Copies of this chain bind each other. A is one copy, B any other.
Amino acid sequence: MEELDILHRALGSRLVTEAAEIAKYARDSSRELVAGAAQAVVLAESTADVSAALSWANAAKVPVSVRGAGTGLAGGAVAYEGGIIISLERMNRILSLDVPNRLAVVEPGVITAELDAAAHQHGLFFPPDPASARTSTVGGNIATNAGGLRCVSHGVTSDAVAALEVVLADGRIMHTGARTRKNVVGFDLTSLLVGSEGTLGVITAATVRLKPVAPGTPRTFRAGFPTLESAGDAVTAIVNGAAQPEVLELMDALSIEIVESYFPSGLVVPEGAMLVGQTVGVDAQAKAEAITRTCLDAGANEVEISESDSLLEARRLSNPALNARGLKLSCDVGVPIAALSEVFRGIGEISRQHGLRVSTVAHAGDGNLHSAVEALDTPDGILAADAVLDDITRLALTLGGTISSEHGIGSVKRHELPWQLDAVTLDVQRAIKEALDPHGILTPDRAI
């Protein structure tokens, strides 16, 4: 505890050591993990605070967990036994909003939806829109390279990050990237940091790219399919069509039933699955019509176009609805678009083999699936559900897919890394980690 006094002198009341307070910052939104008892929370208010905390932790060889809003789903922000927690929630200022260059500079603790709202005041928007946007932070989104509904049209978080200020493990401050559209000066350290899940440095400021809001009234569309596979075929056709959606989501029949039982809205439950999405721009109606025609050609029973975006509400409620059911065990796999039908067919087989019901929602236009297993909240139930998810994950990999599309690895999926990455790649990641954090204090034993 003497050591911690040094840090206390640097940070004053921004260093919190009360166990009850520490406990509030010890977890993220991955429910199955046990957090270690950290020594302290640093309620950082500046880059200097983060630098002081890391300098101290590096010298003391104390593990550090880093936390935005704690909405992560992979255990990346869970506290370490004897560690310190750096909370960035107080670093929540939008430092600048440069409209002509469509750039914003923000502190990491800015809530994602608040940045988006600030941009909207100037006819712009912040493209990344994870389901957690109203609670998660820009810094957390960057650290995990978060996805969301608009990825199909606007890419992932990394596509929206131009430059970063990063505090390294030893407390030094690094600046990556540039305010320009193109920049080929040195290694792309910005992209290396995006998605590094707190293992290479702590992001203390980010220059992000905004986009102009499309003119006109968006249209939402919905199409009901007799089978999950035919909905998958429609996705491939839509993505390869001339009219491109802003959003293209999928819900299977069971996932719609789960939402309807949580919040009844009178939504038609199709036999197989529903595609739901949005088009924007002055030609939003024409694009929605073209896309729903493609759906009918691929076997949809019925389609609907609306100026209200309430059709998307069911998709947005799928996480809360699953959480309300209690145990939520789901995956985050991705496949190349054209493999969607095949992965859906395989999921059906796996579900039957294991005798457990699987509900699937998908960022369909990205080939990113969240399949959830209905299981008992008992050790045996969890084991059985995990076996289903493992089979789905391995199936995705055989189809050229990925074990995680947007949630990250954290500690939850770390055992799956060798399923996707070869030994050389894993070794190179460790070498980079050691080069930047030789004492291994930053989010140790996670992500890679």
A contact set with B: CB distance below 8 Å: 98-103, 144-145, 147, 151-152, 156, 158-159, 168, 172-176, 178-189, 191-192, 194-196, 200, 212, 215, 236, 240, 242, 334-339, 363, 366-368, 400-409, 417, 420-422, 424-426, 428-429, 431-432, 434-436, 447-448
Contacts and interface: CB of A to CB of B under 8 A. Distances in A.
Nearest to A181: B366
B176 A187 contact: no
A158 B432 contact: no
A236 B102 CA distance: 11
A215 to B, nearest CB: 6
B158 A188 contact: yes
29 contacts: A99-B240, A100-B337, A101-B338, A101-B339, A147-B182, A168-B424, A172-B424, A174-B425, A174-B428, A175-B421, A180-B334, A180-B335, A181-B334, A181-B367, A181-B405, A182-B334, A182-B366, A183-B402, A184-B195, A185-B402, A186-B448, A187-B196, A191-B192, A192-B192, A212-B242, A428-B436, A431-B435, A432-B435, A435-B435
B186 A409 contact: yes
Taking the full assembly, how many copies of this chain does it contain?
Answer: 2
Contacts of A420: 178, 185
A76 to B, nearest CB: 11
B404 A184 contact: yes
A419 to B, nearest CB: 10
Contacts of A174: 422, 424-425, 428
B185 A156 contact: no
Contacts of A195: 184, 187-188
A143 to B, nearest CB: 10
Contacts of A240: 99-100, 102, 212
A402 to B, nearest CB: 4
A189 B428 contact: yes
Contacts of A425: 174-176, 186, 189
Given A151-B181, A182-B368, A185-B404, 7 more contacts: A101-B336, A151-B182, A168-B424, A175-B422, A181-B368, A187-B432, A431-B436
Contact of A184 (B101, B144, B434): B144
B337 A181 contact: yes
Contacts of A176: 425
Which of A158, A180, A401 has the most chain B CB within a 10 Å cutoff? A180
Contacts of A151: 181-182
Contacts of A192: 187-188, 191-192
A57 to B, nearest CB: 18
Contacts of A434: 435
B184 A145 contact: yes
Contacts of A408: 184
Nearest to A196: B187
B191 A424 contact: no
Contact of A402 (B152, B173, B180, B188): B180
A182, A368, A409: most-surrounded residue (chain B CB, <10 A): A182
